[in-house]
Amino acid sequence: MKRPTIADIARRAGVTKSTVSFALNDRPGVSDATRARILDIAREMGWQPSRTARALSGGRAGVLGLVVDRPARTLGVEPFYMQLISGIEAELSSRDIALLLQVTDDARAQEATYRRWWAERRVDGVFLVDLRVDDERAKVLAELGMPAIVVGGPHGLGGLPGLWNDEVAPVRSVMEYLVALGHRRIARVAGLPGLWHTVMRDEAFEQAARELGVTPSGGTADYTGDEAARVTRRLLASSAPPTAIVYDNDVMAVAGLDVAAEMDIRVPDRLSIVAWDDSVLCRLVHPPLTAVGLDIAAYGAEVARRLADLAAGRPVTSACHATAVLSPRGSTGPLR
């Protein structure tokens, strides 16, 4: 069935297309009775405004964009992004704003996507995620004059507003907890190097280790189970293996738990495991994973509110959203 147009409504109502346009856009020049009749016909025919046409005529597109520079296969298994997007979607749908999602291979492709979207007036603004230390995207967005908000911070915002979670205090909290359990050899399996939140957690981990008398170790992975398993095997096979490991996400922590079972290392008797980004996954495994977490969906909703306001021309400031909380479970215990 063909999508109804303004011309179809005009024919049905017996008026000109300009009269229909005035009525649908609530502009003067149309009597109340005619406006009501045109709106009734439009509803009856199932007419909806074209976001593209509205944008080309100088209005807003009613769409916000999210470009993620991650392999699609890893994006699909990482609960953090699923929760973040669910929060963004919940808020935007309540405002009748659509979300346009694009997965790219690298930073250059991501920048090209921003330029294309803005030139085609496909979006009113974008969410900037996975902020890197050497990030050029803020400069590109400023050059385009494109509304944007950083999902992260406070470092490297490049003049853009940002909303972040405290990355430092939870690291200290985890380290103090593990030390209180008797652990002195603690490893950290970090996510992608070069991301600001990875750098901040690394620095907080190293500082806490120095101050608490801990011997630190670790490695980096790409947030997938396969890479985390590889790093975990190396750590546990070393001459002085860690007695506790902290992972940068839940998927990697579950992989670490599997490796411990594979190597006949009992958790938590001989190894304690802590996951970042608490999720249902952490509670489904045995033993359930001690985890650091917060309401990621609420975080996504608040970021969406701020970008919607920014795209509408309202001022938006940077802020810290929340501090993650440690939830002890069965994967951590006293060193035996």
Each residue's pLDDT tens digit, 126-169: 999 999 999 999 989 988 999 999 999 999 998 999 999 999 99
pLDDT at 59: 57
Which candidate, 218, 239, 215, places its Cα nearest to that of 230? 218
Give residue 50's pLDDT band: very low, low, confident or very high (50, 70, 90). low
Give residue 193's pLDDT band: very low, low, confident or very high (50, 70, 90). very high
Mean pLDDT value across residues 177-194: 96
Q: Is the pLDDT of residue 93 over 50?
A: yes
pLDDT 10s digits, 81-91: 899 999 999 99
pLDDT at 55: 47
Give residue 27's pLDDT band: very low, low, confident or very high (50, 70, 90). confident
pLDDT at 325: 96
Mean pLDDT value across residues 261-273: 97
- Give 256-263 contacts, CB < 8 A, sequence gap 24+: 256/189, 256/228, 256/229, 256/232, 257/285, 257/289, 257/331, 258/225, 258/229, 259/229, 259/232, 259/233, 260/232, 260/236, 263/233, 263/236, 263/237
Q: Which residue has the higher pLDDT, 306 or 79?
A: 306
pLDDT at 106: 83
Which candidate, 222, 213, 296, 289, places its Cα nearest to that of 256? 289
Q: Kindly report which listed range (18-27, 227-236, 299-308, 318-327) carries the lowest average pLDDT score.
A: 18-27
Q: Is the pLDDT of residue 51 over 60?
A: no
The model's pTM is: 0.82
Coil/strand/helix, residue 188: strand
Q: How far apart (Å, rounded) are the C-alpha atoms in residues 54 and 62?
A: 9
Q: Kindly report which listed range (32-41, 75-84, 92-101, 202-211) carries the lowest average pLDDT score.
A: 75-84
Coil/strand/helix, residue 71: coil
pLDDT at 52: 56
Question: Which of 121-125, 138-142, 263-267 ranks highest by mean pLDDT?
Answer: 263-267
Give residue 54's pLDDT band: very low, low, confident or very high (50, 70, 90). low
C-beta separation of 221 from 250 below 8 A: no
Q: Is the pLDDT of residue 23 over 80?
A: yes
Q: How far apart (Å, rounded) are the C-alpha atoms in residues 289 and 122?
A: 42
Partners of 98 in the β-ladder: 63
pLDDT at 98: 94
Which candidate, 293, 69, 326, places its Cα nearest to that of 172? 326
Q: Is the pLDDT of residue 1 over 70?
A: no
pLDDT at 336: 81
Distances (CA, A) of 125 to 62, 98, 112, 132, 229: 10, 11, 15, 20, 38
pLDDT at 108: 87
